[in-house]
């Protein structure tokens, strides 16, 4: 049997790196074999689908508001109690006031940087730049539970987003690369509006992240064997459950542990345009 290997020119993202860290086989199936497998990720299916759609619409509403559409017009799109609550929380959030005065708001921005012979890409909900001073990375989360800050700090998203902004964000800062100390990442939770998770950055963390990401990407590039995770709890929310014959029944949203919250993370390529 021919061993699987990465396609040439493969571009990594925080999601693919996180998949590899959670389960090497999931990385192989999703990114090397590009296998579409129809198992539902959570039960009940309809509730999960609705939550995903609400999350996508919320992301789009916030993006449109930040580029200048009036809040009253966008509010008409909040067509469910959950969406109305998130939208009200967003409009009232103390931590978000003043964002529009910063001047440099870059919504739904993609940055990429080379790591060895591969590329690593980050898709940002919002980078707010105070030119010459600071850059704030905002990521909107519609999780039904608020994860612990220590857990979010260790997520690959937190590491990738800050490191890539240092490496590839100079054009947002008048051509000068940001110093790590100028960067802060903020996860804003739509259901916990006064409890954002804030992660400042510094040179030591940047060096650590560069080393971790380089070594992880080299490891994946050299891998020919992608074993199944030994932690079968990871399978409860994985679309390949029936393919791997690991955990035949989907987990429920309520049972979802911190480690699995991210299955409902929104990637802005999934977000449809709003029609008025
Ligand atoms: S079902 Fe389990 S072993 Fe299979 S890819 Fe998913 S997480 Fe990995």
Residue closest via CA to ligand 1's atom 7 equals 235
3-class DSSP assignment, residue 96 = helix
Alpha-carbon distance 261 to 248, whole Å?
19
Alpha-carbon distance 178 to 186, whole Å?
17
Q: Contact 126/268 with Cβ under 8 angstroms?
A: no
Pocket around ligand 1: residues whose beta carbon is below 6 Å from it? 23, 25-26, 29, 228-229, 234-235, 238, 240-241, 244, 246
What pLDDT was estimated at residue 71? Answer: 93
Atom of ligand 1 nearest to the CA of 228: 3
Atom of ligand 1 nearest to the CA of 241: 1
What pLDDT was estimated at residue 255? Answer: 59
Q: Contact 149/141 with Cβ under 8 angstroms?
A: no
Residue closest via CA to ligand 1's atom 2 equals 235
Q: Contact 146/195 with Cβ under 8 angstroms?
A: yes
Residue closest via CA to ligand 1's atom 4 equals 244
pTM of the model: 0.88
What ranges in 78-223 are assigned the alpha helix state H? Answer: 81-92, 149-154, 156-168, 203-222
Tens of pLDDT along the chain (276 residues)? 455 678 777 899 999 999 999 999 999 999 999 888 765 666 666 777 788 889 999 999 999 999 999 999 999 999 899 999 999 999 998 777 777 777 789 999 999 999 988 999 999 999 999 888 999 999 999 988 899 999 999 999 999 999 999 999 999 999 999 999 999 999 999 999 999 999 999 999 999 999 999 999 999 998 888 999 998 888 888 888 888 887 556 666 665 555 555 655 655 554 445 454
Residue 16 CA to ligand 1 centre (angstroms)? 14
Q: Contact 23/238 with Cβ under 8 angstroms?
A: yes
């Amino acid at each position: 049997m021919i061993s699987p290997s990465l396609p040439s020119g493969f571009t990594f993202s925080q999601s693919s790196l996180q998949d590899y860290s959670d389960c090497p086989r999931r990385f192989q199936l999703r990114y090397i074999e590009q296998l579409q497998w129809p198992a539902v990720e959570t039960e009940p299916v309809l509730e999960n689908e609705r939550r995903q759609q609400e999350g996508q619409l919320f992301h789009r509403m916030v993006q449109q508001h930040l580029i200048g559409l009036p809040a009253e017009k966008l509010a008409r799109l909040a067509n469910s109690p959950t969406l109305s609550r998130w939208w009200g929380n967003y409009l009232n959030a103390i931590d978000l006031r003043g964002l529009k005065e910063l001047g440099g708001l870059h919504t739904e921005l993609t940055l990429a940087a080379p790591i060895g012979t591969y590329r690593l890409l980050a898709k940002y909900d919002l980078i707010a730049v105070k030119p010459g001073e600071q850059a704030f990375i905002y990521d909107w989360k519609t999780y039904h539970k608020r994860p612990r800050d220590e857990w979010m700090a260790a997520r690959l998203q937190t590491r990738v987003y800050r490191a890539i902004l240092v490496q590839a964000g100079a054009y947002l800062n008048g051509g000068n690369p940001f110093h790590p100390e100028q960067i802060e990442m903020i996860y804003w939770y739509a259901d916990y509006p006064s409890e954002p998770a804030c992660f400042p950055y510094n040179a030591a963390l940047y060096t650590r992240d560069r080393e971790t990401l380089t070594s992880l990407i080299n490891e994946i590039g050299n891998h020919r064997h992608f074993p199944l995770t030994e932690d079968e709890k990871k399978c409860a929310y994985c679309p390949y459950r029936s393919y791997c014959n690991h955990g035949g029944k989907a987990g429920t949203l309520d049972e979802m542990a911190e480690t699995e919250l991210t299955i409902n993370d929104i990637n802005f390529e999934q977000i449809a345009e709003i029609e008025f």
